[in-house]
Structure 1
C-alpha cells in the first residue's frame, strides 16, 4: 500500500521522450516529500509516468512504480490504499493472473484487465488517486476516490494532458506558475479553500471526488464523468439495530485500516470520533499508541479527555505540548504545503502534530468524517432554525428583523437559504468584499461573488433537514477543506493518515440509516453518541465539540495581523489591482478566524505577487 506522489504527461502528437522524461522527473522531485522511500519513471509511447513512494506494505523493491501487467500493456502510478485488496487479489489469481508483489497496486492493473475500469471501481474499497495508461488503446484514465481523500490535479491543453498529486508538480513541469484566477482567490476566502474543480491557477484543475477523467490519443481530449454519487437509502429505522450495525462496521473498518508493515498510531483529539476509533482498536485487541496535542489554552485543550480514553482502554498516550511559538512556526509554511491560500486555522495544529508524529510513525489513524456522515456540525441546527427543515422559511423582515437582530445580536440572514448556509460556514458579506478588493478585480470574479453558487450546483432538492446539508458538506466542506488539510499537512512530512470513518462500509451505514435515527429530534450525532454512551467515559458525551482547534485570537492577536498587513502594504505596490486602498481598514473590523482568513489570503498574494496579472 503506497501513499505517494504521482505525476505524468500524455500527448496526442509525438513527443520527445528524453525531454518529457526530464520534465516529469522535475515533477517527481517536487513531490518527494510525499514519498521519500523510492521513485520511478517510465516512458511508454505517448506517455511518461512518474512516481515517488512512501512504503507501507511490501517494503521490497517489488512495490516499485510505475507498475505494469504481465505483458507490459497496462501501466499504473498510484497513491492510496485499497483496503480489500487481499480479497480482490485472491479472485484475480483464481482467474489466472500472476502477481509479482504483495502490494495492492497490482490489483489495479490486473483488475482493469479482468473487469474493465467500471468493474474495477465497483469493487475497490479505499482511498486512492491513480493514473492508468492502456497502451493498446492509447488511453489514460485518471481516477479519484469517492469522497476525495487523495488529491489529483491536471492541465489539459493542445492535445496534451499533464497530471500530478499537487499543483507544485504541475508548476515544475511548466517551469513557472500560470496567472492566478481572481474568482478562485475570492472563493478561497468564502470557503476557506478553493473549491474543486477550480484551482488558484489558470489552466490547472482539480479532479473532483468520485470522478474519472479519460484522455484518448485519438483526439487528445479529456472527458470527465462521475462514477459515484452520494445517495441515501434509509432502510434502518431502529436505533438499537443502527447502534449495533455502526459499531460492528466501525470495528471492522478500523481492523482493515491497521494493516501495515510499519508502525501505526492514532491522532486522538479527545472528541467522540477519534475516541471511538481508539475504542475500536481496543475492541479488536490492538494496543496502539495515541498522540494528542496539549494546547496552552484551557478553552482549546482536550488532552484531559484524551487521557481518560487511554486510561480506560490501557493505551499508550503521548501528549505533545503546543504553544503559540509552535503554531506560528507554520505561518509561512502553509503556503508551500497547500500551493494555494488555505485559511483554516486548524491547519496549524494539524501540521504541528503531523510533524511530531512523523518522527516515530509512518501511518496514523484519524477521526475525520464522522460529522459529515452523522450530522455533527452546529450549523445544521442553526440553518434549520432560520430556514426550516425544507429551506422554505424566510427570515423576518422590516421592523421585526431589526427587533430580532437587537435581541439575538445576529447579522441579517440572507433571504436565499443557500446563501444563508454559506454565511454560516464563514462566507464574507458582500459589503466587506467590496471594501477589501479593487473594483476591477471584483469585476473579474464572475459568479464567485456569490458564495452560494457552489452549493446550487450540488444541492439535492429532494432532501430536507440534516440530509440536505450533510449532502452539501460531503461534496464541498469535507473534500475541499477537511480532507485537503489532512492530506497536505501529513504528506508534507511523509506521514500517511487513514480515516476509518470514511471507509465505504461506514459510509453505507450512514446512507442506509434514517435521519430520525442518526439525529433524533435534531440532536447532533445522536446515533454516534448512542454508540459512545456505553463505550467511552461519560464526560466525553457532555463536552462541547472541539477537534484539533487552534486559539487563533491569542496566538495571532488582531493588532499583530493588522500591523503585518500595514507593514507589507507600505513596502511596495504589489497589492494594487487586487486589494482596495482601504483593505487593511476593512479587515480591522474583524477578529479571530474571519480576520485570519483575510490575513492568510493577503500574505499568499504578497508571496505570489507575480501571478496577479493586473495590468
Structure 2
C-alpha cells in the first residue's frame, strides 16, 4: 500500500474516488480524482494497492491542518475511509469513542467515521451520526467496499459494479466515473425519466449500469464475488404525535437553534444565503439569537419584480443586522451561463434556478467558504402552494379562492394542472415536469427503444405512501423532488465554485419532528408554513403571510439566453447535454 499527498496553497468540500480493478489503470484513477479539483482545491491524498485506488480531494472546513487530510487509515492498516461532507454531531460521537479507547490524530469530523466503523461496525455507527455526507470505506480485512450517503440525499455518490471485468467504481461525481469507465452508454429510460421529472431519479443515473446511492441506504460490495448487498439504515416513520399549538411553537424554536449550533461550526469563513423567504430568514433569525453576527448574502435581480432587496433590507433592519452583502445579477450576467454550466453537468439538471444558484455561489466565493441555506423547509412545513391543490376534499369554494389569489401569477401551473385527469400527470405538472403523455407525443425520437409497457411514474409510486392526505405528498416531495432535483442542483452549483452549502433543516430531529407533528391548525394551513411564519412574526413583527412566494428561478424573458422563457428549460438543458456528451 502506498500513499501520496499534495497540499497546494490554502483555498479550501471534498471529492471521493474509489476504483477496484484487476487491471487497475492508476493514471486514469488519478485523472478521475483531479477532475474533482473544484470539490477540493486544498489538496489531495490517495492510497493505492496492486488493484485498488482510494483518493480524496480536500476542501478544508474543520481542522485545516495537514492532520485533516484523507483518506484516514486505521492503526492496523485494515480500514481506509474517505468522506465528502460534514458530520455535525462529531464532537459528541468522538467523546463516546474516546471513552472506548479510540486515539485520534486530528480534530477532523471525518476521522470520527473511521473509529466509529472500527469500534461499532457500520450499522451502529449509522444510527448515531447526523450530517450531510457521502462516505466510502475500504475494509481490507473483510475484502469489501462499504459506502452510503446521508438520510436525505444532500450529498451524492455514483457507482458501477462490473463483475465480468472484476471492477467496482465509486465516485462523488459521475464525470470522474465516466473518465475511468469511458465506454458508458446513455440510458434511454433515463432520458424519458428526465423529461418527466426534470431529473434522473435514483437509483438510476443517465448511464446504463451506473447508479446513484439512495438516501438512507448502505451498500456493501464483496470485492471477490462482486455480490452487492443493499439495505436502508433510515426510513421515514409514519407515526404521528398529537402536539398542541403552543408546544409546537416552543419546540420548533429549540430544534432550529440546536441545529444551528451544530452547523455553524467551521474553521473557515461562513455566511448565510438570505433570499427574503421564510426559510432562510428563520435561520438567520436563529443565528442572531445565538449572538452570532454572520455575513448574510443576498441576490438581487436588477430591474425585476422578483427582486427581494427591499424586503431583505427591512428584515435585516428588524434584526439589527448590518453584516449584509447584496450581490446583483443583471440580464447580461446570465447570458451564455447555461451553455457554460451544462458542459460541466455530469447529468442534466432541469431547474432554471441552477443559473442564479451558480452565480450566487460564484460571487460569494470571495467572501465565504461555507454557506447556510434554507433548502428543505417547504417540504417539511408544507410551504408549496401546490399542496392547496393536492389537499383532499378540494371544494368549489376552495377553487374560487385559488383562482382569485393565484390566477395572475400561477395560471400556467395551478389551474392548468386540471387539464390532466390522471393523478400522477397532474402531480408532475405541478412540480414543473412534463406529463408522460406529452413526452410520448413530442419527444419519442429521443428514446426509440423504450418498451411500450414502461411505467413513467415508477419513482413516484415507489415512494408514495397513502396515510394522511396532503402530508403524503409532502413526504413524496421529500423523498423524490428534494434529493433528486433540489439537493442535486445545490451540490452541483456550490461545489463547482468550491463552496460548501449546509442545510440546517435537514437535522434529523427537525425532520422527524416535522413529519410526526399533528394538530388541527397545521392540517388546515396548507402551503403557509405556519410554525415558521409565526416564529418570525414573534421575533421581528413582520408578517410573511402577506408576501408572495417567489422562488429562485430566473425572473423573466430578458434573463434567458435566447430571451424566451416560454421554452421548456429542462428540454433545452437535455438537448445541450446530449450534444456535449454523446
TM-score (norm 1): 0.85
Distance 1:222 1:279, change over 3 A: same
Tell me what 2:9 maps to: none
CA distance in structure 1 between the aligned counterparts of 2:570 and 2:81, rounded to whole angstroms: 38
Tell me what 2:19 maps to: 9
Is structure 2 residue 187 aligned with structure 1 residue 181? yes
Pick from 107, 113, 118: which aligns with 2:118? 113
Q: Residue 606 of structure 1: CA displacement?
A: 2.3
Pick from 360, 373, 382: which aligns with 1:366? 373
Is structure 2 residue 433 aligned with structure 1 residue 460? no
**Cα pair 2:197 2:434 within 8 Å, conserved:** no
In the TM superposition, what are the counterparts of 1:523-538 in structure 2 within 5 Å? 523-538=527-542
Is structure 2 residue 427 aligned with structure 1 residue 421? yes
Q: Residue 523 of structure 1: CA displacement?
A: 4.9
**Cα pair 2:376 2:505 within 8 Å, conserved:** yes
Q: Residue 164 of structure 1: CA displacement?
A: 0.4
Deviations 1:352-402 (A, max 9, x none): 0000111121100011110011111111111226879xxxxxxxxxxxxxx
Tell me what 1:500 maps to: 504
CA distance in structure 2 between the aligned counterparts of 1:370 and 1:283, rounded to whole angstroms: 19
Deviations 1:208-252 (A, max 9, x none): 111111011241122222111111322242111011111111011
In the TM superposition, what are the counterparts of 1:120-519 in structure 2 within 5 Å? 120-158=125-163, 159-174=166-181, 176=182, 178-315=184-321, 316-384=323-391, 410=416, 412-439=418-445, 441-444=447-450, 450-461=455-466, 463-514=467-518, 516-519=520-523
CA distance in structure 2 between the aligned counterparts of 1:478 and 1:220, rounded to whole angstroms: 31
519-528 vs 37-46, greater mean Cα deviation = 519-528
Q: Residue 466 of structure 1: CA displacement?
A: 2.1
Distance 1:112 1:484, change over 3 A: same
Tell me what 1:603 maps to: 576
414-423 vs 21-30, greater mean Cα deviation = 414-423
268-277 vs 233-242, greater mean Cα deviation = 233-242
Unpaired stretches in structure 2, ≥5 consecutive residues? 1-11, 396-410
CA distance in structure 1 between the aligned counterparts of 2:312 and 2:48, rounded to whole angstroms: 50
Distance 1:540 1:183, change over 3 A: same
TM-score (norm 2): 0.90
Q: Residue 536 of structure 1: CA displacement?
A: 3.4
Tell me what 1:400 maps to: none
Deviations 1:511-540 (A, max 9, x none): 331163534343521222222221235243
What SS is found at the alignment partner of 2:138? Answer: strand
Q: Residue 598 of structure 1: CA displacement?
A: 2.0
What SS is found at the alignment partner of 1:213? Answer: strand
What SS is found at the alignment partner of 2:161? Answer: strand
**Cα pair 1:3 1:81 within 8 Å, conserved:** no
Distance 1:143 1:429, change over 3 A: closer
Distance 1:523 1:483, change over 3 A: closer
CA distance in structure 1 between the aligned counterparts of 2:417 and 2:311, rounded to whole angstroms: 34
Deviations 1:73-95 (A, max 9, x none): 11101101111111111111111
424-433 vs 305-314, greater mean Cα deviation = 424-433
Q: Residue 492 of structure 1: CA displacement?
A: 0.4
**Cα pair 2:385 2:526 within 8 Å, conserved:** no
Q: Residue 468 of structure 1: CA displacement?
A: 0.3
Distance 1:519 1:477, change over 3 A: same
Distance 1:250 1:64, change over 3 A: same
Q: Residue 313 of structure 1: CA displacement?
A: 2.0
What SS is found at the alignment partner of 1:215? Answer: strand
Q: Residue 97 of structure 1: CA displacement?
A: 0.9
What SS is found at the alignment partner of 1:522? Answer: coil
Is structure 2 residue 30 aligned with structure 1 residue 25? yes
Distance 1:434 1:467, change over 3 A: closer
CA-based RMSD: 2.2
Tell me what 1:51 maps to: 56
Q: Residue 20 of structure 1: CA displacement?
A: 3.4
What SS is found at the alignment partner of 1:127? Answer: strand
What SS is found at the alignment partner of 2:356? Answer: helix
CA distance in structure 2 between the aligned counterparts of 1:170 and 1:141, rounded to whole angstroms: 17
Structure 1 outlier segments of 4+, above 4 Å:
385-388, 445-448
Distance 1:105 1:434, change over 3 A: closer
**Cα pair 2:190 2:200 within 8 Å, conserved:** yes
CA distance in structure 1 between the aligned counterparts of 2:196 and 2:32, rounded to whole angstroms: 31
What SS is found at the alignment partner of 2:342? Answer: helix
Unpaired stretches in structure 1, ≥5 consecutive residues? 389-404, 562-590
CA distance in structure 2 between the aligned counterparts of 1:297 and 1:513, rounded to whole angstroms: 41
